[in-house]
A and B are shown apart, each in its own frame.
Chain A
Amino acid sequence: GDSVTQMEGPVTLSEEAFLTINCTYTATGYPSLFWYVQYPGEGLQLLLKATKADDKGSNKGFEATYRKETTSFHLEKGSVQVSDSAVYFCALFSGTYKYIFGTGTRLKVLA
């Protein structure tokens, strides 16, 4: 079945450091891919999405490119801020209302 694998956390970075959170997926067909962010005590917010191969999703300085050849959708940001501290979920839409989530990666940014 479809699945999403994310790098284990927590990831601890200093402010202004470069961020990469790895995400790979297994799916039949061409799923839509997403990154969601969850701040403490809140729901999930859609951060960015990509619907086909080579699409780049971007938002708030975060980027991810849909790589079909490596089945990856890695999240990157050039300069993280303390306010980016949260849990990040990679997800795919596998059709028929099924969203498959990765296990989540906790990011902690230190001032």
Chain B
Amino acid sequence: DTEVTQTPKHLVMGMTNKKSLKCEQHMGHRAMYWYKQKAKKPPELMFVYSYEKLSINESVPSRFSPECPNSSLLNLHLHALQPEDSALYLCASSQEDRVRTEAFFGQGTRLTVV
């Protein structure tokens, strides 16, 4: 099983709303990631959790708030977003391993901020 599951698949929210994106993996991976991808661009790293601790925060605005409740789950809490935050949000996970370095991605959440 090399699946990373993201919900919801699509989300439309107003600029005053609060919503959450969810991600789950059962591969025993200890690193989990949030990426943002704009149209026709590569993914951009937002956050990395390793062993449930925030390891990397790529200077993302505070209206994005990550949470890692346990080793299988990763959430991204959204509040007071701007229209320019509309994008595909991708979750990924990887093994903490020198050889098995590949990241596995979910299908993404297509977010539209209106």
Contact = CB atoms under 8 A, between A and B. Distances in A.
A34 B104 CA distance: 11
A40 to B, nearest CB: 11
Bin the interface of chain A by size: 20 to 34
A102 B42 contact: yes
Interface stretch (A13-21, A73-81, A91-99): A91-99
B99 A44 contact: no
A44 B101 contact: no
A101 B43 contact: yes
Interface residues of B, number: 28
Interface string A18-53: 000000000000001010100001111110010100
Nearest to A95: B101
A49 B42 contact: no
Nearest to B48: A97
A42 B80 CA distance: 26
Nearest to A102: B42
Contact of B42 (A34, A51, A98, A101): A101
